Amino acid sequence: MNARRVSAQRPETPERKQYHLEVKEGDVAETVIIPGDPQRVRKISSAWDDFTEVAVHRQFVTHTGRYKSVPISACSTGIGGPGTAIVVEELANVGANTFLRVGSCATLKENIEIGDLIISTGAVRLEGTSKQYVRPEYPASASYEVILALIEAADSLGIKYHLGTSASTDSFYLGQSRPGYDGYTQSFSEILINDLQQANVVNFEMEAATLFTLGNIYGFRTGAVCAVYANRVYDEFEVKGEAEVIKCGNEAVRILHEMDKEKEQNGKRYWIRGL
């Protein structure tokens, strides 16, 4: 038998280099920022003390370095749940346990402006990837420590932010109540925004539900913060807030590191104020 046989159930090299990400143990920090856009990885890591590009394969770009002396990595997921699930699975295989999405979104609220940040506390699972893992009633909720770190980061940086439930979709067009090619639409798409507004959902995006669901299943810390590029109430779109959401994500990683040190020093499993 070939000693180097690779199992189809776990496609990785004998050195445990992951099939899609092409990273192995030691290549990534325990805490990873996961933007969708591969080009955003370098924008994130350019603010670090130093970084190394450890892998580039398909849509997955991975950098590892230090931010304010704290170990940190960033890895792009591409758009949507399938890529996000691959990134979580393969990064976890090589030692990551905290995942922070830094991305963009569209708000469904009148009082949220383009360029503001939205910190997701949970997500409506309108995508399909999470349903491959667990029944649809299972909650997609962010980790409280990551939410608190993002709040502190945004507040300390003076960035305007909001909290709330997101809706994650698999479609940027009909799945987010936009017409498709040549005006194609369906009745369920046309009423979607109103239904979500009635349920107090604050924004559309495409990755949080998968991330949060997998985090809850596996016991990982997860969170998401997105810059608002579109306001669906006023039908406005502008690419604005990317620099701010990147600053917030990087600073949240530093704050999480401080939380972890405080827990370790006090022999606690969970962080509380005044620890």
Q: Which two tokens stand for residue 123?
A: 């997500």
Q: What gap in Å lies between CA 95 and CA 105, rounded to an integer?
A: 29
Cα-to-chain-centroid distance, residue 67: 18
Cross-strand pairs, 231: 107, 236
Q: What gap in Å lies between CA 163 and CA 100, rounded to an integer?
A: 15
> How do 117-126 and 60-67 pair as beta strands?
unpaired
Whether 205 and 168 have beta carbons less than 8 Å apart is answered as yes
Active site residues: 20, 90, 178, 232
Angle at 98 between CA 70 and CA 68, to 5 degrees: 15
Q: Which two tokens stand for residue 230?
A: 């579109």
Q: What gap in Å lies between CA 118 and CA 62, rounded to an integer?
A: 25
What is the DSSP-derived secondary structure letter of residue 95? T
Q: Which two tokens stand for residue 39?
A: 């080009």
Helix (H) / strand (E) element for 40: namely: helix 38-45
